[in-house]
């Protein structure tokens, strides 16, 4: 299944609940929530109180991407706030396997994120334990960046790695994804797509529709 996960980092913060509701009504299945701590990435976004505040707005999947050092410290709080899926960076965890186990112990999905320069070998041992691998196609920390072209081949190699092991693992791509390049990523093997500026710049409804029209060609 092909899934759009709009990143609310690019939404109107003064009207965040409204934008989340608009995104859900337009047909996006996931809501991507980028949590930044100013340490792992050079920016601070929002945290647990904001997630709690927007949780009543929709029953769509909250896809919570933790760009924070040692995220294992806060897993319970994010689950309590309403996360349906938590992804953590391999680069930010001293004990990645333990962190994934903690996430799954709460009955939600667990994913691992790799930065553009991090090789796929970083998830080789954890792959059977996760529900999703998120490949960053920009360097994390800021919205509106240009897609890093080498990500496409990385997606292709990851899909092959998953298939060779007969695993059921989603591949999510985050950064510079637009209706113009999403077909290329689908063909490479990705099935969940994070889009920020491409959804929230202009009409949310029209932008979501643009992605979903591309998806229909592959379903």
Catalytically active residues are: 34, 174
Contact 34, 67 (CB under 8 A): yes
Q: How does DSSP classify residue 7? A: B
Burial of 22 (0-12, 13-18, 19+ CB in 10 A): buried
DSSP result, 29-55: SEEEEEEEBSSSSS-B---HHHHHHHG
What is the number of H-type helices and E-type strands within the chain? 8, 8
């Amino acid at each position: 299944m092909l899934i759009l996960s709009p990143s609310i980092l690019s939404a109107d913060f003064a009207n965040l609940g409204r934008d989340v509701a608009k995104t859900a009504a337009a047909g996006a299945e996931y809501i991507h929530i980028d949590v930044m701590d100013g340490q792992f990435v050079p920016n601070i976004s929002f945290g647990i109180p904001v997630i709690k505040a927007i949780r009543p707005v929709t029953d769509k999947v909250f896809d919570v991407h933790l760009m924070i050092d040692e995220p294992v410290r806060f897993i319970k709080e994010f689950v309590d706030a309403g996360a349906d899926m938590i992804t953590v960076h391999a680069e930010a965890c001293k004990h990645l396997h333990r962190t994934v186990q903690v996430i799954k112990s709460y009955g939600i999905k667990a994913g691992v994120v790799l930065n553009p320069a991090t090789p796929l070998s970083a998830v080789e041992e954890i792959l059977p334990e996760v529900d999703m691998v998120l490949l960053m196609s920009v360097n994390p920390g800021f919205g509106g960046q240009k897609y890093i072209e080498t990500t496409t081949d990385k997606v292709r190699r990851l899909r092959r790695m998953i298939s060779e092991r007969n695993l059921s693992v989603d591949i999510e791509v985050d950064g510079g994804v637009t209706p113009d390049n999403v077909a290329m990523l689908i063909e490479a093997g990705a099935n969940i797509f994070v889009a920020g500026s491409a959804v929230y710049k202009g009409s949310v409804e029209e932008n979501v529709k643009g992605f979903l029209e591309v998806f229909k060609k592959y379903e």
